[in-house]
């Protein structure tokens, strides 16, 4: 990625440099306020990821500071929305759409990075469930709550595996790297099909089997350029878009006749 976007990378380092300078100042003011603790912060290098017409995915750099001797978990989540999982069923030999389940709290994107595998950080599953660490622990709320219905779990698993298959859910990263005993960084890959919206980045600081501090920041994924204009035009002004598409096609067809009539 760095080879493809040298300018972006330079921008990231500028942000990191500003951040480090800021940290030095924060450190002094903290001492003056008689709190010896270092601030706990999380920040993203790019506050906005822009999907343009040539977008092929992008790396997101996340960095921050925690107390020395702690572990770090970073979770990036997209906007929560309602999604429906449909199962294909055979009908006279042909695969048709059969049963479905709707969940109303589905994050459009979920990625987790940690300094160590998360199941090494806690003694049992309860913390993983409480903080929704890993896609398996996301609290997907079904639209129609059928208590004790085992099929809901099957649909939930199918939803997770579908999202993982699309590269939208991921928890296999142990790539939180410490630059010093307090300063950390990690990168997350935002694939080409990343949904637009406001993304939250949540930092969990873990010490002796417990989450002892949390911080949150956010960034925006948005479509820009022709891409964005066409998308918004189509979805916000369907009638005008339809007229425009028809007129464009009529003109194209007419111009071609003019052009090729002159030919041999």
Partner 1 sequence: MTVYLPIAEISVNVFALLAMGGVVGLLSGLFGVGGGFLMTPLLIFFGIPPIVAVATQANQIVATSVSGSLAHWRRGNVDLAMGGMLLAGGIVGSSGGVWLFSYLREIGQIDLVIKGSFVLFLGTIGTLMLIESVKSFIKRRRGASPQKRRHYWIHSLPLKMKFRKSGIYVSALLPIAIGGLIGFLVAIMGIGGGFIMVPAMIYLLGMPTIMVVGTSLFQIIFVTANVTFLQAATNSNVDLVLAVILMAGGIIGAQFGARWGNRLNAEALRILLSALVLMVCVKLVYDLVATPVDLYTVVIGG
CB 40 within 8 A of CB 68: no
d(CA 141, CA 133): 16
Q: Does residue 178 interact with partner 1 by CB under 8 A?
A: no
Is position 249 an interface residue for partner 1 (rule: CB under 8 A)? Answer: yes
- Contact between 83 and partner 1 by CB under 8 A: the answer reads yes
CA 163 to CA 158: how far, in whole Å? 9
Q: Say whether residue 150 binds partner 1 (CB under 8 A).
A: no
Q: Among residues 3, 24, 145, 239, which is the contact residue for partner 1, using CB under 8 A? A: 239
Q: Which of 69, 95, 126, 262 binds partner 1 (CB under 8 A)?
A: 95
3-class DSSP assignment, residue 186: strand
CA neighbor of 72 nearest in space, from 178, 159, 150, 231:
178
Cβ burial of 129 (10 Å; 0-12, 13-18, 19+) is middle
70-78, 113-121, 124-132, 239-247 -> range binding partner 1 (CB under 8 A): 239-247
**Residue 12 and residue 43 in contact, taking contact as beta carbons nearer than 8 Å:** no
Q: How many residues bind partner 1 (CB under 8 A)?
A: 58
Q: Report if residue 56 touches partner 1, rule: CB under 8 A.
A: yes
DSSP letters spanning 32-69: HTT--SPP-EEEES-SEEEE-TT---EEEEEEEE--TT
Among 53, 68, 146, 212, binds partner 1 (CB under 8 A): 53
* List 21, 179, 192, 220, residue binding partner 1 (CB under 8 A): 192
The phi, psi pair for 124, rounded to 5°, reads: -145, -175
Binder of partner 1 out of 5, 10, 88, 210 (CB under 8 A): 88
Name the site residues for partner 1 (rule: CB under 8 A). Answer: 51-56, 81-88, 93-97, 100, 102, 104, 143, 155, 158-159, 161-163, 165, 192-193, 223, 226-228, 230-231, 234-235, 238-239, 241-246, 248-250, 252-254, 256-257, 260, 263
């Amino acid at each position: 990625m760095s080879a493809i976007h040298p300018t972006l990378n330079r921008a990231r380092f500028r942000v990191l440099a500003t951040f480090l300078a800021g940290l030095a100042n924060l450190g002094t003011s903290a001492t003056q306020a008689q709190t010896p603790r270092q601030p706990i912060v999380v920040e993203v290098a790019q506050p906005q990821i822009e999907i343009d017409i040539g977008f092929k995915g992008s790396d997101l750099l996340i960095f921050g500071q925690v107390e020395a001797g702690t572990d770090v978990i970073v979770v990036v989540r997209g906007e929560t929305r309602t999604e429906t999982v449909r199962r294909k069923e055979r009908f006279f030999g042909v695969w048709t759409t059969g049963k479905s389940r709707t969940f109303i709290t589905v994050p459009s994107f979920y990625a987790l990075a940690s300094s160590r595998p998360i199941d090494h950080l806690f003694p049992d599953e309860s913390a993983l469930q409480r903080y929704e660490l890993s896609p398996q622990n996301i609290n997907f709320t079904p639209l129609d709550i059928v208590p004790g219905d085992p099929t809901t779990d099957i649909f939930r698993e199918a939803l997770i595996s579908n999202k993982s298959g699309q590269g939208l859910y991921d928890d296999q990263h142990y790539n939180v790297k410490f630059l010093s005993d307090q300063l950390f960084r990690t990168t997350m890959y935002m694939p080409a099909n990343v949904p637009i919206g406001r993304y939250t980045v949540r930092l969990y600081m873990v010490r002796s089997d417990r989450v002892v501090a949390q911080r949150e920041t956010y960034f925006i994924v948005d479509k820009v350029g022709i891409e964005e204009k066409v998308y918004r035009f189509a979805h916000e002004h369907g009638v005008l878009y339809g007229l425009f598409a028809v007129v464009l096609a009529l003109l194209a067809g007419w111009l071609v006749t003019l052009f090729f009539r002159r030919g041999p």
